[in-house]
Amino acid sequence: MADTLTITDNRTGKSYEVPIENGAIPTTALLQCRASEDDVGVRGYDPSFTNTASCKSRITFLDGERGILRYRGYPIEQLADQSNYLECAYLIVKGELPDVESFARWERNVTLHTMVHENIKTFISGFRYDAHPMGILLGTVGALSTFYPDASDVENLESRRLQTRRLIGKLPTIAAYAYRHIRGYPYIYPDNDLSYTGNFLSMLFRMQERRYKPDPVIERALDTLFVLHADHEQNCSTNAVRAVGSSLVDPYSAIAAGIAALYGPRHGGANEAVVRTLQRIGSVGNVARSVAQFKSGEERLMGFGHRVYKNFDPRGTIIKKLAYEVFEVTGKNPLIDVALELERIALEDDYFVERKLYPNVDFYSGIIYQAMGFPMTMFPVLFAIGRTAGWLAQWAEMIRDPEQRIARPRQLYCGEDERDYIPLDDRSPAGDREDMVSDDI
Ligand code: SDX
């Protein structure tokens, strides 16, 4: 049997052989299906890309049915248990686990870039005291493109490598500065004698002590959370980074686009929304009544559901275990009982089971972040720190891919046919015209 599809166009009776490669067909093959001489051919229609591959990638493998997640072939369970974020960032960006010398060089090179230009402090001080830190991160990372004009040379390998080290190094610093700004605390400079995540905790939480000593359990747990969030193939924010990056803009602007996409409640903003939901439910006794509201469609159960995972999100399984390790140090976050009851009831309810809605990476992560002392608005910022390595690897893979050009999808036009302009004085009052589409604005 040949690896092809035979498509018969019943409008003309013609048949076409289309090759199947990597389990996909090139949708441009549909252009040959023409009903007449002036027909442009058949177009694929797939709003929000539920069944469209936008690229070939070697970075992350997901199997939604079996709950499998691998970075460059390594299972997430092994990386979460045995690796660390900087090593995973190297793996995701470069494709292989580093040897001792390569890791030492990588760690040194990233650490060299944890400082930010002093003007960044002035820039961040311009935000309101109550600005959402994700908005501060979005604006500040975008602004970095004005500090590094050399970054626009995106087709230069050494420039891509330098910006990659700069962004992985600086994201925690900017995130910490955003936190310190909304708290009204002075900024803390990087302490490069600490680990990547230890330094982040120091920039966040150091007060009057001469040197901050991170709690090793908290440091390890947060580092593991960065590992779990490091990449996730073509999710919404990665798609944004690839699409914006395909115009050959600098990587700071492309990563800012990813931060903007991640900010939304359907994506990285869900971890903040989950804790707000759990707080509103308040207690285990209120859970059953709340589930009825989610089933009615009044609101979504945030932290549940996924475009790809249709059984379980392997990251959620790991995070749930991690929570109890953190609680050993911080004390138990009572919201975990509400979350566990919510999960128990939902997983027994046909509404969720039929729709294959299971806890995703965001369902339990916020409970841990809150126990660590982060305000809810910082939760998506923590997600962004981890995902920066993935965004950069995906961006570089797109730049290097000879099959990739500027991302410019087509549409199915359903609007008005050609019509002539009507001078203002000759137009009938809008109220007389039922077809005025005022709800479009
Ligand atoms: C992340 O893509 C990634 O990989 C993302 C991510 C990553 O690492 O990058 O994994 C991180 O973003 C995780 C998802 C975080 N978001 C949330 O938890 C928000 C709540 N979940 C949803 O809004 C939703 O499930 C999505 C956005 C995650 C997935 O949306 P889909 O695939 O477009 O599914 P859908 O909206 O078409 O829903 C299918 C059905 C609908 O019901 P019907 O119209 O068929 O009756 O399921 C229902 C939805 O109403 N549904 C939910 C629901 N999610 C979907 N009903 C109640 N609660 C929910 N959470």
Closest alpha carbon to 195 in 339, 61, 86, 310: 86
Q: Is the C-beta atom of 267 inside 6 A of ligand 1?
A: yes
140 phi/psi in degrees, rounded to 5: -75, -40
pLDDT digits (tens, 9 = 90+) for 217-233: 999 999 999 999 999 99
- What's the rounded Cα separation, in Å, for the pair 31 and 9? 12
Give me the half-sphere count of Cα atoms (radius 13 Å) on the Cβ side of residue 154: 22
- Ligand 1 geometric centre to CA of 12 (Å): 40
Tell me the one-letter amino acid at 186: P
- Ligand 1 geometric centre to CA of 305 (Å): 4
Give me the half-sphere count of Cα atoms (radius 13 Å) on the Cβ side of residue 378: 22
Per-residue confidence (pLDDT) for residue 297, from 0 to 100 = 85
**Contact yes or no for 302/274 (Cβ under 8 A):** yes
Q: Is the C-beta atom of 355 inside 6 A of ligand 1?
A: yes
User: Tokens in use for 48?
Assistant: 């929000």
Per-residue confidence (pLDDT) for residue 325, from 0 to 100 = 96
Closest alpha carbon to 303 in 260, 255, 352, 253: 352
For tokens 């500090």, what's the residue? Answer: 147
Q: Is the C-beta atom of 299 inside 6 A of ligand 1?
A: no
Q: Is the pTM of this model over 0.85?
A: yes
For tokens 């901050």, what's the residue? Answer: 212
Q: Is the C-beta atom of 238 inside 6 A of ligand 1?
A: no
Residue nearest to atom 39 of ligand 1 (CA): 355
Residue nearest to atom 50 of ligand 1 (CA): 297
Pocket test for ligand 1, best of 259, 267, 379, 383 (most atoms within 8 A of CB): 267
Q: Is the C-beta atom of 258 inside 6 A of ligand 1?
A: no
Residue nearest to atom 3 of ligand 1 (CA): 235
Closest alpha carbon to 231 in 221, 244, 222, 241: 241
User: Tokens in use for 297?
Assistant: 């469609």
Q: Is the C-beta atom of 87 inside 6 A of ligand 1?
A: no
- Ligand 1 geometric centre to CA of 395 (Å): 25
> What is the 3-state secondary structure of the chain?
CCCEEEEEECCCCEEEEEECECCECCHHHHHHCCCCCCCCCCCCCCHHHCCCCCCCCCCEEEECCCCEEEECCEEHHHHHHHCCHHHHHHHHHHCCCCCHHHHHHHHHHHHCCCCCCHHHHHHHHCCCCCCCHHHHHHHHHHHHHHHCHHHHCCCCHHHHHHHHHHHHHHHHHHHHHHHHHHHCCCCCCCCCCCCHHHHHHHHHHCCCCCCCCCCHHHHHHHHHHHHHCCCCCCCHHHHHHHHHHCCCCCHHHHHHHHHHHHCCCCCCCHHHHHHHHHHHHCCHHHHHHHHHHHHHCCCCCCCECCCCCCCCCHHHHHHHHHHHHHHHHHCCCCHHHHHHHHHHHHHCCHHHHHCCCCECHHHHHHHHHHHCCCCHHHHHHHHHHHHHHHHHHHHHHHHHCCCCCCCCCCCCCCCCCCCCCCCHHHCCCHHHCCCCCHHHC
Alpha carbon separation from 167 to 172, 391, 392 (Å, rounded)? 9, 10, 9
| Range list for CATH 1.10.580.10 in the chain | 77-404
Annotated active-site residue in 153, 267, 337, 349: 267
**Contact yes or no for 162/152 (Cβ under 8 A):** no
Per-residue confidence (pLDDT) for residue 432, from 0 to 100 = 57
- Ligand 1 geometric centre to CA of 389 (Å): 24
Q: Is the C-beta atom of 293 inside 6 A of ligand 1?
A: no
- What's the rounded Cα separation, in Å, for the pair 181 and 179? 5
Q: Is 232 a catalytic residue?
A: no
Q: Is 267 a catalytic residue?
A: yes
- What's the rounded Cα separation, in Å, for the pair 431 and 423? 17
Pocket test for ligand 1, best of 266, 317, 318, 356 (most atoms within 8 A of CB): 266
Pocket test for ligand 1, best of 304, 351, 363 (most atoms within 8 A of CB): 304
Per-residue confidence (pLDDT) for residue 431, from 0 to 100 = 67
- Ligand 1 geometric centre to CA of 113 (Å): 36
- All residue ranges of the chain with pLDDT < 70 are 431-441
Pocket test for ligand 1, best of 276, 357, 367 (most atoms within 8 A of CB): 357
Q: Is the C-beta atom of 333 inside 6 A of ligand 1?
A: no
Annotated active-site residue in 113, 132, 306, 313: 306
Query: Burial code of 24-38, b = ≥16 C-beta within 10 A, e = fewer?
Result: ebeeebbeebeeeee
Dihedral sign, CA of 388, 390, 394, 399?
positive
**Looking at domain 77-404, which CATH architecture does it have?**
Orthogonal Bundle (1.10)
Q: Is 306 a catalytic residue?
A: yes
